[in-house]
Structures are given as structure tokens and as C-alpha cells.
A = this chain, B = another copy of it.
Amino acid sequence: MQKTTSEKVSKTAPAKNAGVERFLAVRTRTEALAAPLSAEDMCVQSMPDVSPTKWHLAHTTWFFETFILQNFDPDYKVFDETYNYLFNSYYEAVGERHPRDRRGMITRPPVAEVINYRNYVTNAVAGLVEREQNPEVMRLLELGCHHEQQHQELLLTDIKHVLYQNPLKPAYSNSPADPPVSAPKINWQSLEAGIYEIGCPGESFSFDCEGPRHKVYLEHFEIADRPVTGGEYLEFIKDNGYRNHDLWLADGWTLLGETNQTCPLYWEQGDNGWEAFTMRGMVPLNLGEPVGHLNYYEAEAFARWAGARLPTEAEHEVMAVNQGIFEPGMVWEWTASAYLPYPGFKPASGAVGEYNGKFMSGQMVLRGGSGATPKDHWRPTYRNFFYPSSQWQFSGLRLAK
């Protein structure tokens, strides 16, 4: 997700103390995620889509400084005037910014200084919030926490890509790999045709693109009760799936011709069979785990090969709510829906909302959430979105028919 950040105004502002506690917990967790990394790991940008860890650490801090401290704390002294240029992302109203694809050039400030920046801003925000009961600040605080949680997932996704570029294939974590698992048989869940409602009901925090809540007419459909596994995807490969043009969208087939890709990103055929690069380094492919790092074309081709299709985002959401799924799943799942505005969508105004809906072209919606998605960040109406060619996310699929 390209980090939309403007929120829908929640009806009830959270209690002040809880807000500060959550804020501090989110800040601490980001730093914990960066802890296993060296200064060099945190500085490098492996492709334009990837941001360095240091940039994530600083940008999420810049967000609180810019939208809360500079607007609501008259005594606040900016940590470093240059950071607005360095660590702004796409908020054009807030000024010029460093080009996205040059983020890896920022060797200075060093990580240690960025940690100082984090502490300085964290303390200032906590102090401000404890002094005042400003509901707008509390809403921005919640927004900032969700924004930072988005970047927590991106931080993990991005550092995985960075480490994979290294021929040594270093592990992010030294904890043991998951034991081999086997997946249960798919059970198909069905739903009758009719009018359903989807989108954010508006009682708690959500991003603006999740609303307005609105009616959709759905035909009868069936949807699998779990994502597709690596083992199932391997059957597709063995059945010559990457070489059979009947299975592929034209854009996907063209892309295959350019990349010569024959398996998902991070999969490699080793001397002892298939392996995958994980946060724990290269490990034998775990056949029972959900397949990830697919692009949309791969997901769509697999579904066609399996005699099924991808669900729409409405089908996915209705079924998740019906089945009481209120926390993220194992992988983000590509849906058959393009990322477009819901009927009646109106972007919020002002700098925070500047880019509401700016990304609503050319991207597809993913639903479900991944193991890298913070649990208290996710809700069933959550719309993640990426370009069809993107592979570096924890992105798989679930079948429908």
C-alpha cells in the first residue's frame, strides 16, 4: 500500500491515556523491528519501490512532527529544518521533497541521529498530549499511529528485499524456521445472491478510502476457507503454468517474456529441492504455508489454472465479516477488484488529506492482511493496494467461484 494516511473522522475520540499508551507502544515496536539491523542494512535502497529502514524510522517521525507538533505545540522547536525535505514522502503541500528513488543516498544523518530524532519527537508528542485534551490532536495521533503501523509492515517487506540482494542471503532473524506444515483440504463457503453492505461503518478508525459504507449487489458465490499454499502453487509450476499462455493476462504474459520469471520472487531451486528466502534466510519451501510474493498476474493465472477465479473485494469483505474474521490473515490476497473510489467518496481536505485517492488508478485491491500486519491496525474493511506487477509484498491469493 502506498501509504494513504488521511482518516475518516471517528465518531468517538479515544481516551487520552490509552492514546498515549498506544502511541508509545507503536513507536517502541518500530524501533524493535529495526533492532536486528546494522547501520548499513538500514541505509540501502534495493529498488525504487523500497525505502531504507532509516527512512521509515525518520518519515514516521516527521509525520508526527509536521502534522501535530508544528500545528499544535507553539513552543515546539523543529529538530532539524532539513528533515522536512529529506523525510517527506508525497505531501506536496508541505513542500519540496527528496526523490523517492534516491532515498538510499541519504547516508547522513546517521541512524543514531535518526533515533535521537525519534526520541525527541516521541517525548514532545507525549508531553503535548498529556498537557492537552485537543480532540483534533487525538485524531491525528491515532492517524499517525496507523500510518506508522503501515510503515512497520513496509519496513519488514522492504528489508527482506534488501537482504535478498546480498549474495550471502543473510537472515533478518536467527530464530528457527517454521516446521513443515500441511494444509487442510479447502472448504468452500457460499453466499446467496442479494444486496450487501460493505465499507467502513464509521464507528472506529479507518482510512478514508474504506468509506462510505454502501450497498452492492452480489451474485451467489463460493469462496475458499484458506489461501492457496506453496505446495498447491508448486503443482501449477510443475504443470508448466509459467509457459502456458492460455493461463495469463496479456500484460502478465508480456512481463514474463521480459523477466524470464519461472517461479515466485524469493523461490529458488536448490540442489535439495525448492527453497525460499524468508526473514530467517534461505529455508526449504514450506509446502503447507500460504504462497506469497506473487504479483497479480501470477495469482490470476493460478486461479484460472485451478478452474476458479479471484474473489472481488466485496465478496471478500462480506465473507470475512460473516465468518467473524477480525484480524489479519497469513498473506495479503489479490482480489479481482481495481482500487477505485467507493460511491460517494470524498477526499479529506488539507495537507494530511492531500493525497486521498491519488493512487486510485492502475492498482488492484488486496484483502486479508499478512503476518507482518499489526493486529490492532487491521479491520475487515481494510483496502490494501498495489500495482499488478508488484511482487515484493507478502501477497498471495484465495480462490473463489
**Which residues of chain B come closer than 8 Å to A106, judged between CB atoms?**
166-167
- A41 contacts B166, CB within 8 Å? no
CA separation between A98 and B215, bound complex, in Å? 47
- B359 contacts A250, CB within 8 Å? yes
- The minimal Cβ–Cβ distance linking A274 to chain B, given in whole angstroms, is 22
- The 4 A-B pairs at the shortest CB distance, nearest first, are namely A338-B338, A105-B165, A40-B107, A40-B43
CA separation between A215 and B130, bound complex, in Å? 53
A360 part of interface (Cβ distance < 8 Å): yes
Q: Which residue of B lies closest to A296 (CB)?
A: B361
A77 part of interface (Cβ distance < 8 Å): no
Q: Which residue of B lies closest to A98 (CB)?
A: B167
- A361 contacts B297, CB within 8 Å? yes
- A108 contacts B38, CB within 8 Å? yes
Main secondary structure of the interface of A (DSSP, over half): loop
**Which residues of chain B come closer than 8 Å to A163, judged between CB atoms?**
107
- A108 contacts B249, CB within 8 Å? no
8 contacts between A and B (CB under 8 A): A39-B39, A39-B40, A40-B40, A40-B54, A40-B110, A105-B165, A250-B358, A362-B362
Determine how many copies of this chain the complex contains.
Answer: 4
Interface string of A187-223 (1 = CB under 8 A from B): 0000000010000000000000000001111110000
- The minimal Cβ–Cβ distance linking A391 to chain B, given in whole angstroms, is 15
Interface size class of A (residues with CB under 8 A): 35 or more
- The minimal Cβ–Cβ distance linking A221 to chain B, given in whole angstroms, is 8
- A250 contacts B300, CB within 8 Å? no
**Which residues of chain B come closer than 8 Å to A357, judged between CB atoms?**
249
- B344 contacts A340, CB within 8 Å? no
Provided the pairs A40-B110, A217-B195, A340-B336 are in contact, do residues A252 and B105 lie with their beta carbons within 8 angstroms? no
A275 part of interface (Cβ distance < 8 Å): no
- A104 contacts B44, CB within 8 Å? yes
Provided the pairs A217-B215, A219-B343 are in contact, do residues A105 and B361 lie with their beta carbons within 8 angstroms? no
A375 part of interface (Cβ distance < 8 Å): no
A170 part of interface (Cβ distance < 8 Å): yes
